[in-house]
A and B are shown apart, each in its own frame.
Chain A
Amino acid sequence: MTLSATRPSIRVTDLRKTYQVPEREGGLRAAAGSILRRTSRSVPAVAGISFEVEPGEIVGFLGPNGAGKTTTLKMLSGLLYPTSGEATALGHVPWRREPDFLRRMTLIMGQRNQLAWDIPVVDSFELNRAIYGVPRDEYAERLKELVELLELGDLVRKPVRNLSLGERMKCEVAGSLLHRPEVLFLDEPTIGLDVTMQRRIRAFIAEYNARTGATTLLTSHYMADVEALCRRVIVIHHGVLLYDGDLAGLVERFSPRKTISIDLEAGQKPPDAGWLAELAGGPDAVVQHSAERLTLRVLRSETAAVTTRLLATLSVRDLVVEEPPIDEVIDLVFAAGPGSDVESERAGATR
């Protein structure tokens, strides 16, 4: 079944999810009181999110813990009913959990196993095959392909308890793709894995998407996942969509400053602090100021001018102009919350 290229694979309109969380204070009296009465408060996990995903896209949901990314993913995979709002995936309403929808999607959760613990992985795969109704010859073919792509080798013949964490994750991924789903929901897939394994899993996801054109939604709080895989990033914080676009745009919008690092030639008079501050646009723009090295954080629009002046005035051995590390940008985004962007930064800069 092919989807027309113009129809979105996933469409979300003003999706909301509010939880009722029981709460209680510490201490003996509160404990006794809670036997009879229970107070709870409403926690909005997702507070009105809208977006569309085209078939074949890989979209990364970025946000700190508790931002609402996993809740969004659970609603789209049919595990959770929203409090209000609409969504369709592959033409189905996910939370109706129609078998037709479930057969065409898959959910992979980091650090959670669905494979049976004590028996060879391949036996668990057999059960999945039966559940999804995959014909034997297709199954054999796909298994071969996945074993090759994930470099599983003989691992599938071992019981899960004999595998390392990374090997386990690879097998989980393989088992989840035996039915060739058209949509992949990945919830923190690389969490807890070592760096090499994280890279392998990322590479696999990209390869799988290239080969099959499966729409992929993944949540992560690792910047590296998103950087490596996703052309499109959706930033969620406090249940609200802060940004939807590509990574470069994210950096530009939320971090208006670039970093200039200069190694100075030895033996010259160190530049005056006051002059530096004025040039860079404020005393806090000077990150480091020593005889050998200068580091300045300068507004984008000023970068060229400041660089020129520095090169003209000082004897420079080396000069580097960098975007701030994306992690830092994300920290800024999360710390500031909704409504934070270049404008307010600028306003703060010109005091």
Chain B
Amino acid sequence: MRSLGLIWLSLRLGVLNALQYRADFFIQLFQSLVGLVTALAAVALVFGQTDELGGWSRDELIALVGVFLLVGGLINVVIRPSMEKLMEGVRLGTLDFTLTKPADAQLLVSVRQVEVWRLIDVALGTVVIVIGIARLGEQVGPERAVAFGLVLVAGVAIIYSFLLILSTLAFWLVRLENILVIFGSMYEAGRWPVGLYPPWLRVALTVVVPVAFAITVPVETLVGRLEPMTLVTTVGLALAFLVGSRWFWKFGLRHYTGASA
């Protein structure tokens, strides 16, 4: 219970912090719109030459763009900024302050920083998803909606764990400030259905950088392509990732504080 209260308070502080910069709203709006237009223009270009891409229709791909934006927004609101702040804290030594507090360090660092205007991406993404689904004429009943919600949460949990692992590497590789760029680059590959890629790349996007679970799987759920096994795998993987990343975080802390050589 106390943890929830701390999360709430920390997020509230982060939002207050971010709201200081009103100009950022317009900058983010511009960037999000440009991002949206770019993604849709690429889809239009491709579908100007063909009717289907690897078994996916144009409207399914529009829904994919929507999920791409939505998930991207969710990750960029709290998770990514907090991980960046964590790595900065390692570099500058301000992580020491966090470690002397009587609260779980992973909790504190994970909700440290908020980029509130990234919610624009969440909003835009939702709108695009709705448009895509409507154009498809798909009926999204309560079952599918719940499955979508579940897979979405699981996907975000997997990404969070993955980013935590990357950021924990900063304890050893202090100079790798741009390590999160790896994720950003691989995330770009999620603009298109993961099934398109050759097996070796598909493995990379599923196992090494779990982008597939964050984007392709939720879209599959929405448009009715989901196989039940995939749902189970995704949720199971999310739990495994959460446990694994916490273990790695504690391992990293022990190294940082000199417990292991």
Contact = CB atoms under 8 A, between A and B. Distances in A.
Pairs of residues from A and B, 5 with the lowest C-beta to C-beta distance, nearest first: A102-B102, A114-B97, A99-B102, A81-B259, A81-B258
A82 B261 CA distance: 11
Interface in A70-112: 74, 77-83, 95, 97, 99-100, 102-103, 105-107, 109, 112
Contacts of B230: none
Given A78-B100, A127-B9, 14 more contacts: A17-B258, A20-B261, A77-B100, A80-B257, A99-B102, A102-B101, A102-B102, A118-B17, A118-B20, A124-B13, A127-B13, A130-B5, A131-B6, A133-B102
Contacts of B92: 112
A123 interface: yes
B94 A114 contact: yes
Given A17-B258, A102-B102, A112 B20 contact: no
A130 B6 contact: yes
B240 interface: no
Interface of B: 2, 5-6, 9-10, 13, 16-17, 20-21, 92-94, 96-97, 99-103, 108, 254, 257-259, 261
Interface of A: 17, 20, 74, 77-83, 95, 97, 99-100, 102-103, 105-107, 109, 112-114, 116-119, 123-124, 126-127, 130-133, 159
Contacts of A74: 96
A112 B9 contact: no
14 contacts: A77-B100, A80-B258, A81-B254, A112-B96, A116-B13, A119-B13, A119-B20, A126-B9, A126-B13, A127-B9, A127-B10, A132-B102, A133-B2, A133-B102
A292 B257 CA distance: 60
A108 to B, nearest CB: 9
A123 B13 contact: yes
Contact of A102 (B2, B10, B13, B100): B100
A109 B98 CA distance: 13
A13 B102 CA distance: 26
A1 B259 CA distance: 30
Contacts of A119: 13, 16-17, 20
A119 B5 CA distance: 19
A20 B172 CA distance: 13
